[in-house]
Chain A
């Protein structure tokens, strides 16, 4: 009993937080999650000495794997930065997949209707996609700003509206006449994201530019500074005379536009036509990436790259060790929960009180 009285842990709110400390804690947390995952994999029968090889060396040094990671990272980064933009103004945009669908439907409409000369076609498709993604995000934004409708519900349910509209088109007027199957006719070569060589397409420079713009907007511009104010306390921001509605609208519309471009990376960049399932799962990944990146645009790009590594190497584990898919999911979940739990150490400090 005596020894217990010698001291006890005390939790206190952290007064100051630095970006370096933030990054260090998150990194340690992710490494802890990976270590735990590695332990589970070794127990499941993956040889320990092969693990590092499979996860890091093979994924990053093998040309095919690196290409797969980069191609996968582009749409993930778009949707992750898109989510971060909305979350910066405390708008929980769960409608990312609906915005992806709206964007790709608009791009496909431009392609199928042969709008504009071929040299301008792809540009028009991208503009139409962004406009449609923004329009789809505008609905829950206006509902929230004007009527106080909770955007978690409205943006999420609009996903189903978009999905059913997509299916209506694919099983109806946009069904491919070549094989009567539910996907749109294939795009012409000039309607696809151009190849830059080495098996990579223009999605990468596009997402890099978009991420730099978002980082500037959120981190350097006056609007970004105001958005942080809105994030911290919307009512005080309003009382101080900030244009809260305009700031929220700007961030949410950009979020919808970025989500639409994530969809374009997949439909226009990868599939070469509008398909039924190109968006599946990306909305959830986007939320996750924004969360792990703590709504920082450049960090979201890094996290998107890491998530892509996790996806691709997770597939390797299945291919070469016949590790079940459920186990791959478990590992992804462990890494994410570790990062989420580290939030505690960012906000609080634990001291040993004697």
Chain B
């Protein structure tokens, strides 16, 4: 069961504040040349989250000129994480890169125990002077995929298969609908939560139920390409998450929110090598501009004018446009972002509301 997710955010937490203080004291200097190693949450060929890291790995190796070994299937269990990391450290590896939210507490302990080793944790929640959690602003890429889905849809009725309802998933759902509204003001997004990150059976049932309702474009934030495969079988469209799912459903998938971790990790490792690494106390949280996330777009079902619109929005986001800019109200009419303001990162992580047009189980 995966839990991936993220970076930390919150002010008010004592150890975060302590981490911040020591960062201010002068950052972290690695004693030797960086020797990174990965701990993978699942199999390197999982088709999604972990495979995206494994596909970034050779690019990072080329960029920094060092081989990067890895261990697969390190579950979110301190008894597996600790020995895997310590074995690498004993053999001289000094940059340990984790890939799961559930590694956070153990990485925090390891970072204290090994102050000369740098730790990075994809979708972690804690930070320290030598520990950086990182994640991507997936609402940017999912916003663009929502545009593509609405452009491919004939009915304006969109669906979304998601894992579990909490901040980092809810922000992709809302962004998907907001992107769709940009193309079609009548677009709606019906969401089904499967309660699991990787459950092809439930994902198939959810996608089938959506298609049965006459929905003709299905977005997703789960780990397998099953919703896209169902979309292809039903002759409708969809958008992927983690990687370019045209690999599995070439006709159906019109856009995918993809990870581009080499663009974040290679520069980060170079900064560590240069001795200029300063961890961000609330986590590194990069969007399309910072190189964490991007889109693989667009399939032939998206018309040329709409492709141009999507690419123009992508450029606007890189140039500083915030998806969650005010004025913005939730579907109950409560104002969530004031005019002229943007949603703070802390509020993003705690998002528990939906924009108008999102239809959920409750």
Contacts and interface: CB of A to CB of B under 8 A. Distances in A.
B72 A325 contact: yes
Interface residues of A, number: 40
Contacts of B73: 325
Contact of A315 (B76, B80, B165, B166): B80
A276 B71 contact: no
A312 B83 contact: yes
B312 to A, nearest CB: 33
Which of B2, B8, B9, B76 gathers most chain A CB within 10 Å?
Answer: B76
Given A179-B125, A181-B5, A277-B77, A271 B105 contact: yes
B1 A276 contact: yes
A68 B71 contact: no
A39 to B, nearest CB: 23
B71 A319 contact: yes
Interface string B1-23: 11101101110110000000000
Contact of B9 (A68, A163, A179, A276): A179
A180 B12 CA distance: 13
Nearest to B86: A64
Main secondary structure of the interface of B (DSSP, over half): loop
A161 interface: no
Nearest to B349: A180
A275 B90 contact: no
A126 to B, nearest CB: 19
A266 B79 contact: yes
A250 interface: no
Shortest 9 CB-CB contacts between residues of A and residues of B: A68-B83, A325-B72, A270-B78, A180-B350, A319-B87, A318-B71, A325-B73, A277-B1, A179-B125
A280 interface: yes
A324 B75 contact: no
Contacts of B195: 164, 167
Interface string B36-79: 01000001000000000000000000000000011111011111
A305 interface: no
B169 to A, nearest CB: 10
Interface string A116-129: 00000000000000
Contacts, number: 106
Contact of A180 (B69, B82, B167): B167
A322 interface: yes
A294 interface: no
B88 interface: yes
B164 interface: yes
Contact of A280 (B13, B37, B75): B75
A64 B83 contact: yes
Contacts of A175: 166
B102 interface: yes
Given A272-B105, A281-B75, A315 B87 contact: yes
Interface of A: 62, 64-65, 68, 71-72, 75, 163-164, 167, 171, 175, 178-183, 186, 266, 270-273, 275-278, 280-281, 311-312, 315-316, 318-320, 322, 324-325
Interface string B148-178: 0000000000000000111100000000000
Given A68-B83, A179-B10, A171 B164 contact: yes
B334 interface: no
A144 B263 CA distance: 58
Contacts of B83: 64-65, 68, 72, 312, 315
Contacts of B3: 182-183, 275-277
A62 B80 CA distance: 17
Which of B83, B195, B349 gathers most chain A CB within 10 Å?
Answer: B83
B1 A320 contact: no
Contacts of A325: 43, 71-73
A277 B102 contact: yes
Contacts of A68: 79, 82-83, 86
Contacts of A186: 105
A71 B79 contact: yes
B49 to A, nearest CB: 15
A177 to B, nearest CB: 9
Given A171-B165, A182-B166, A277-B76, 18 more contacts: A167-B164, A167-B195, A179-B8, A179-B9, A179-B13, A179-B125, A179-B349, A180-B350, A181-B6, A181-B125, A186-B105, A275-B3, A278-B76, A278-B77, A316-B87, A318-B72, A319-B71, A325-B71
